[in-house]
Structures are given as C-alpha cells and as structure tokens.
Amino acid sequence: MGRADKKSGGDGPTCGILAIDKPVGMTSMDVVAIVRGKAGGTKTGHAGTLDPRASGVLVLALGKATRQLKWFMAADKRYVTEIDLSCFTTTDDAEGDRIAVEPLPAPPTESEISQTIETFVGSIMQRPPAHSAVKIGGRRAYELARRGIDVQIEPRGVVVHTIQLTRYRWPLLELDIRCGKGTYIRSLARDIGCALGTGGYCHTLRRTAVGPFTLASCRRLEELPETLTAEDLMELAEALAMLDQADSG
C-alpha cells in the first residue's frame, strides 16, 4: 500500500499540489504568500526552502494537502550549481563577503576535480552554513551570524547520490547534483573548494527536480490566474502516487 492509498487526506476546492519555478530574488515564503493570496487565503506550505538567490522547483501544497508535505520534503532533490573556486565567502554563496585564499594555488585540472568530487558521493558528514535556518538554542543560525555571533553547527549526515561535472573554466565549475533531504549545496561548494586547496562558494544555484517534479512540471508565477481553483492544482492522490512510483523506480 503506497502513500496515495493511505495518506491522501481529504479533498476540497483548493486542496492539491502546485509546482512553481521560483525566480531569483524571491524567498520561498514570498512565493507561498502569492499563491495563498490567489487561492483566497487557503493554507499553503512548501516542501523545502530555496534561498532567495536560488531558483527552480518549489513544490507547494494547498489546503488539506499541507498535512502530507513531509512526503515531498523527504524526496530526493536535484540541482545545477556553479561554484566559484577563486575564494570563499562568509555565507558560502554570492551574498556574503569574500574571503581571499592566499596564496591562491594554480587552477586544478579537470581530472583533479573529477577525482575530488567523487569523494563527496555517498553518505557523508556535512556542516551546514553558518547562514542557514538550522536552529541553535531555539534561534536560527542566520539570525545569530548576522549579529556577529560565532556560529558553531555540528556536522550531520547527508546522502549525495551523484555528482556530475558538466562544465569547467577556471574559476567557475558547474555540477549537476542529486542528493537526499537536508543536503546543503552551499556546504558542498565550500567543502569541495577546501578539498581542492582552492576557494569555493555557490555562485549560482538552480533546483531542477524534487522527486518526480521537474522544471517541466512547474509553472511560473506570472502564468498563474488571478484566482486559483482546483483545475489549477494537481490532485494530492496523483502527486503521492508519483512519489511512490519514483521511489519504486
């Protein structure tokens, strides 16, 4: 018996799933607020935060479907990221202050990069960025970091299924990554740079899939009607069945 058989919850005129291609510059909660407004104030949530500088697949649940968000949050994610190897930053992305690497070593070869990224595939320990939503003593880490407090976050286990090198021209390295829940691509960028002996921060980030939901499944905010109805949403049972099928495949 799959998720769709036993956990679909109830139905309703604004109960369902909607995948949005989040643009750069918006928070995930900005998108939630827009969709909630178009759905007449219906309860709306998302299945995994994308930073404002990141774009791509953001899965939303509306109405009673929000009760099942945990299944979508647990799904594997896929990202395309561009890593700048010329330095580190305070936030592990382009938003933070640059931290120079001195002396900056000679650019690594493509072969060296391929060998290095393979060491990050599998079950690994990863320290989330200081500027993240991880809670420390009841406070978000980014709140403490912005106040100048030294944030120490314990490493945690994550799973990286695959990393593919898709383009490299110093200092920019492009990777296609498929990973499990809780993986920080910013941390991967930082740690890959450390392993190479260079810098490393996440220059650009685009989420291309959440479980079976891909960019092809997504709608842009400007394409949405002023009033969302049931016809604009995927039925919860169908979405859960897709998750089951993706897991079995």
**DSSP line for 79-105:** EEEEEETTEEETTSBTTS-EEE-SSPP
Annotated catalytic sites, by residue? 51
- Average pLDDT of every residue of the chain: 90
In CATH, the number for domain 3-75+211-248 is: 3.30.70
The predicted structure's pLDDT at residue 4? 45
pLDDT exceeds cutoff 70 at 70: yes
Tokens of 37: 């407004």
In CATH, the number for domain 77-209 is: 3.30.2350.10
Express the helix, strand and coil content of the chain in percent, nearest 5 each: 30, 30, 40
pLDDT digits (tens, 9 = 90+) for 133-191: 667 667 676 676 576 767 777 889 999 999 999 999 999 999 999 999 999 999 999 99
Domain boundaries, the chain: 3-75+211-248, 77-209
pLDDT exceeds cutoff 80 at 132: no
The predicted structure's pLDDT at residue 12? 44
User: Model's pTM, two decimal places?
Assistant: 0.89
Can you tell me the distance from the alpha carbon of 104 to that of 205, in angstroms, rounded to the nearest whole number? Answer: 24
pLDDT exceeds cutoff 80 at 227: yes
Q: What is the mean pLDDT of residues 206-232?
A: 96
Which of 94, 119, 50, 125 has its CA nearest to residue 199? 94
